[in-house]
Chains A and B, each alone.
Chain A
Amino acid sequence: MDYKVKVNSVSKIYDLNRSKLSKIISLFTLGHFNKEKAFYALRDIDFEVQAGDSVGIIGLNGSGKSTLSDLLGEVTVPSEGSIDIRGKSSLIAISAGLNQDLTGEENIRMKCLMHGMTNAEIKAKYNDIVDFSELGEYIYQPIKSYSSGMRSRLGFAIAIHTNPDVLIVDEALSVGDQTFADKCLDRMKEFQQQGKTIFFVSHSAGQIEKMCNKAVWIQYGEMKEFGDALPIVERYNEFINQYKLLTKEEQLQYKEKMMEKQKEKSRRAKPKKDKAPLSSLIPAFILFLFALFGIFLQIINL
């Protein structure tokens, strides 16, 4: 079947327990002096999503939801595997790229520009954005005078009007009052009807039940389940309820045990090293010789 987003055995590896200095050394030696202490924030995530699907991403804190949403929004790149997105994906980052000293109007134009819209497109969308943000006259004020609610309304209004094919919403709906959140949800539903793909990151099972037809359950870096939303959310709720029944200490112990497992697995894995081949240094070497030649010429000319 034709897919919209294909996540192909994706892993994201972070370096743990490594000082900043050794990271920098590995960067400048092109990965040749590199003692990896890999930590798999995500491991072997595999799923395919069709156009028009809404996918909820659920999981406990620290399970890798945000890492996955960053990957889907193409803000970071996977360490292993690949993500194929047909179309433009957009991560709703409410406050990213807003300039405190500029007015709301200027911020709208600037952020739309950053999203790669042309001036004509911006002109066409501008009024919609202002209407959606409900800012009215405040749109001509510098946004440093905005309240946090106004700021997030503006950010959300812009993000939703950039016309992405794949939209990733990371806990963004927790801002603003109920009426605005409802309005955002309505707009999401419109997106769904237009056949766009939406990813919801949330730990609220209720919201996902309401909005999504598919769900991904991420548990300590691994994909526990992927499929239709309802059964998964049900099982997730069951899990959460059981988890809640534990005492505080048992909860902590459980978490630590799982983290230890995740680290243990990471240790056993042999991630392929991120080395640049030495042959890539040849042009640099030629240019270096040329620079030496320049210095040499200057010296004889003294």
Chain B
Amino acid sequence: MNNIFKILKEQWLHRRLIIGLSVYSLKSQYANHYLGLFWNILQPAMQVFLYYVVFGLGLRGDRGDVGDLPFIVHLISGLFPWLYISAGINAASGAIQSQIGLVTKMKFPSSTLISVSIVNSLINLFITTSILLVISIIYGFSSPIHYLSFLYFVVASVALISSVGLIMSTLVILIRDMKNVLQNVIRMFFFLTPIFWSLSEANALMHTISSFNPVAYLVMNYRTALVLQEAPLYGGMSDHIYFWSITLFLFYVGVNVHYRFRDRLVDYL
């Protein structure tokens, strides 16, 4: 249990480092690019366009709106949080491996590298969310007080991403195959999560799958916060308990795997 406080304290003590490093990693990512940070908008926009054509115009045909929402808004409100979660898990899982030279040669708390990747993902999330927020305000999809539950989404998603990231960042170094496994699992989750399809129209089986899918819980919370008129949070008490019990367990395992492995990094390369 001590390890959990230790890792949180470590992040707090190195907060300046984490923010500084994430700024530099953004800079290096877009060094030599003409459009720079604008790619953070352009890339999701292109994906939205593609999925709208394929899933909206192609698969759905003329069925049109999802409930009160135009399909494109439904799609955006699912795709933006999805891109953030999937990219976040990917980046957090590769965070230590991609800086292996640094970790094995400098006295450096490697857990901060995971935080750096999460901060980067959050920056992306804030950029894309601000677009959706503007759309939502203009068309009045949600009442302003609901937007506050976006904060809940941020906390919950960071908890899930860092738990998976802590476990996977260690595993991908020990077992290289895990990277491929992870990518395939993530791709699978894209289809199992109500992003381009809607829970309200889905088969009962999909409801069952979604209720066991923590990503679906997060995406639906994002949607509820930004574009739906319903209660401030998605899901019932059992959904909340399910999500947090699973996340807490994963986090505990992740923290301990991380600490057990961290000092022996060189022995396992």
Residue ranges of A at the interface with B (Cβ–Cβ < 8 Å): 14-15, 20, 23-24, 27, 30, 70, 73-77, 89-91, 93, 95-97, 99-102, 106, 109-110, 113-114, 116, 118-119, 142, 276, 283-284, 287-288, 290-291, 293-295, 297-298, 300-302
- Nearest-neighbour CB distance to chain B for A280, whole angstroms, equals 8
A-side contacts of B106, CB under 8 Å: 75, 91, 93, 96-97, 114
A-side contacts of B211, CB under 8 Å: 298, 301-302
Contact bitstring B234-258, A, C-beta under 8 A = 1, else 0: 0010110111111011001100100
Q: Judge whether A291 and B236 touch: CB under 8 Å.
A: no
Flag whether B69 is at the interface (Cβ < 8 A): no
B-side contacts of A102, CB under 8 Å: 24, 27-28, 31
CA–CA, A77 to B152, complex, Å? 39
Q: A14-B267, A27-B261, A93-B106 are in contact. Are A293 and B245 (CB under 8 A)?
A: yes
27 interchain pairs (CB within 8 A)?
Answer: A75-B107, A76-B263, A76-B266, A77-B263, A91-B107, A96-B102, A99-B28, A101-B29, A102-B24, A102-B31, A110-B24, A142-B31, A283-B1, A283-B252, A287-B249, A290-B248, A290-B249, A291-B245, A291-B246, A293-B241, A293-B245, A294-B238, A294-B241, A294-B244, A294-B245, A298-B211, A298-B238
CA–CA, A27 to B167, complex, Å? 13
Q: Judge whether B105 and A91 touch: CB under 8 Å.
A: yes
CA–CA, A85 to B131, complex, Å? 52
Number of interface residues of B (CB under 8 A): 45
CA–CA, A236 to B107, complex, Å? 32
B-side contacts of A96, CB under 8 Å: 101-102, 105-106
Flag whether B47 is at the interface (Cβ < 8 A): no
Q: Judge whether B248 and A295 touch: CB under 8 Å.
A: no
Total A-B residue pairs with C-beta atoms closer than 8 Å?
Answer: 122
- Closest residue to A276 on the B side, CB-wise? B260
Q: Which of B14-22, B86-94, B120-128 contacts A (4 or more CB under 8 A)?
A: B14-22
Known pairs A27-B261, A96-B106, A142-B32 / 14 extra A-B pairs, C-beta < 8 Å: A14-B267, A27-B174, A27-B264, A30-B260, A76-B263, A77-B263, A97-B101, A101-B29, A106-B24, A114-B17, A114-B106, A283-B252, A288-B249, A295-B242
